[in-house]
Amino acid sequence: MSLPTDPAANLAALIRCPSVTPAEGGALTALEAMLAPLGAVSERLVFTEDGTPDVKNLYARIGDSGPHLMFAGHTDVVPPGDEAAWTYPPFAAEIAGGEMFGRGAVDMKGGIACFTAALARYVEKHGPPKGSVSFLITGDEEGPAINGTIKLLEWAAARGERWDAAVVGEPTNREKLGDTIKIGRRGSLSGTVAVTGRQGHVAYPHLADNPVRGILMLAEALLSPPFDEGTDDFQPTNLEITSIDVGNPAVNVIPARAAASFNLRFNDAWEVETLQAEIHNRLDRASKESRLRPGRADPVDFEIEWRDRPSHVFLTRDEKLIDTLSASVEALAGAKPTLSTSGGTSDARFIKDYCPVVEFGLVGQTMHMVDERVALADLEALTRIYLRFLEDWFV
């Protein structure tokens, strides 16, 4: 049985599986088939929770001793959008101009294809690793992230799985392959603040209490002043108002309620609890100051609802993991990568509770876009970097 040493062939097989969240689409089946010739013992898990779609996941392990390296990722992809807008069908894996087109090409079926090829080349060259390699692959990263990695980790840990380090194959590079390794992520906290007023006719404002005035004032208090100036390892904490809603289709009616939703990306100067306290303090101060404004005699009546499952900030400090991967990138890409904590969240936020984790994959410039694509040269280059990393990590 031939080994899956060609990353382009691996990726084409994965792209041709229409695994739009939460559908498996055949992608986990295809990956399981690739790993079988490497001696992987694979298990398929389906996790459920009320109010969310069932999700299929894959855990595969090669070897039964330590050290134990985890490769983590997802085969689910975002919807392709208007398929007529694509130059080539989004699930055809067409190649043109030295690039492979398809949904998931860089986010992140490409990373999975390359790591699989790298491990196959390692086995072909050296035999089984002097330890273990596991694949922890979900179909829920682009979805609610409830029935995927977090539950797969809990399941594996409960049966005795332990890991020494993990690499997540997300598309971390900004401009060219090898420019960025993610060694941490900012935290993420979301909430909605709502103001209750009194509905009435716009021609008789003295008989009503317009909550829009209050919600705009509270939103301003959330945005200013800045939360911090950043830390040694992280960008400044940032809050964005993502929606302001009143549910009012009429232009001559003062609404009874207005709400503003927001999201914070925060650094290691904060914990979730301290940040929530800061938000409450800002809103309380702004509410009381409203009495000094014309037309208001009472504080703004508001309530706040926090979204479930905030993401905590984390920073990986494992020297062996970071230094080995950095050296592999520098040796094969020709430049020392930046160690970054920028960007959004990923499933690394769950993995960091079990072992040190970093993220490194392809260039992410076309992820989630029409005509998502990857250079074939980058597939080969990333495979070589992963192979060098495996050779140096398993010493």
32-62 pLDDT tens trace: 999 999 999 999 999 999 999 999 999 999 9
Angstrom distance (rounded) from CA 375 to CA 389: 21
Cβ neighbour number for residue 378 with a 10 Å cutoff: 23
Angstrom distance (rounded) from CA 340 to CA 312: 16
Query: Is residue 164 predicted with pLDDT exceeding 90?
Result: yes
| 220 among annotated binding-site residues | no
- The sheet carrying 95-96 orders its strands as 95-96, 99-101, 373-375
**Strands (DSSP E) found in the chain:** 41-47, 55-62, 68-74, 95-96, 99-101, 132-138, 165-168, 180-182, 184-185, 187-196, 200-201, 238-245, 253-254, 257-266, 302-306, 314-315, 338-340, 357-359, 373-375
Query: What's the residue count for the chain?
Result: 395
Query: Is residue 329 predicted with pLDDT exceeding 50?
Result: yes
pLDDT band at 65 (very low <50, low <70, confident <90, very high): very high
pLDDT at 292: 47
Asked if residue 57 lies in contact with residue 139, where contact means CB atoms within 8 angstroms, the answer is yes
Asked if residue 279 lies in contact with residue 126, where contact means CB atoms within 8 angstroms, the answer is no
**Domain 7-185+313-393 sits in which CATH superfamily?**
Zn peptidases (3.40.630.10)
Taking each helix axis as running N to C, give the angle between helix 376-393 and helix 109-126, from 0 to 180 degrees, rounded to the nearest 10. 50
Angstrom distance (rounded) from CA 110 to CA 173: 13
231-285 pLDDT tens trace: 999 999 999 999 999 999 999 999 999 999 999 999 999 999 999 999 999 999 9
Beta bridge partners of 55: 47
| 368 among annotated binding-site residues | yes
Angstrom distance (rounded) from CA 169 to CA 222: 35
In the numeric block, the tokens 């389906």 are attached to 46
15-37 pLDDT tens trace: 999 999 999 999 999 999 999 99
Closest CA relative to residue 244, chosen from 265, 214, 224: 214
| 170 among annotated binding-site residues | yes
pLDDT at 115: 98
Domain parsing of the chain, residue ranges: 7-185+313-393, 187-306
Pick the CATH number of 187-306 from 3.40.1260.10, 3.30.1330.60, 3.40.50.10260, 3.30.70.360: 3.30.70.360
Query: Is residue 140 predicted with pLDDT exceeding 70?
Result: yes
Catalytic center residues: 76, 141
Q: What percent of the chain has pLDDT over 70?
A: 98
Mean pLDDT score of the chain: 95
Answer whether 7-185+313-393 and 187-306 agree in fold: no
